[in-house]
Amino acid sequence: MKCSATILFGLLTIWTGLLRGIEAQAYKPSALWFCLVMGLLAIAAGYLYRLERRTAATALAGSSGAMVLSFYLHAFITAPAEDATVRVGVVIVGAIAHLAITYLPTPPRSPSEASR
């Protein structure tokens, strides 16, 4: 669950950076590179979850999610006339959901799942 959700959050973050350039019909390097780096960090965390490296994955996923959330909340609060868009709202809600999934405890695995 955490693996898939973290990878989806990374893809959402990358899409957000690409969409900023599409909406403005111009090359926006800061939005593109920030979202690309944060998205790739989240995707890397998803693969670390898949490899059962839970501590490293949680640290990486939490840091990328917190940075995305803080950046977009800051932009939304300080410049609502420019950044009060659906794109920003979706990424804020996505970051909150991602952090909730990342830090919720996982249920214990049953013996039949552990043998797989």
3-state secondary structure of 106: coil
User: For residue 21, how far is the Cα from the chain centroid?
Assistant: 19
What does the block give as tokens for 43? 């995707």
* Cβ neighbours of residue 4 closer than 8 Å, sequence gap 6 or more: 46
Each residue's pLDDT expressed in tens, for the chain with a length of 116 residues: 888 999 999 999 999 988 888 887 888 788 889 999 999 999 999 999 999 899 999 999 999 999 999 999 998 898 887 777 888 889 999 999 999 999 988 777 776 655 55
Which residue bears the tokens 């039949």? 112
pTM of the shown model: 0.85
Q: Quote the CA–CA distance of 21 and 4 in Å, as a whole number.
A: 26
- Residue 84, classed as helix, strand or coil, is coil
58 token code pair: 């949680």
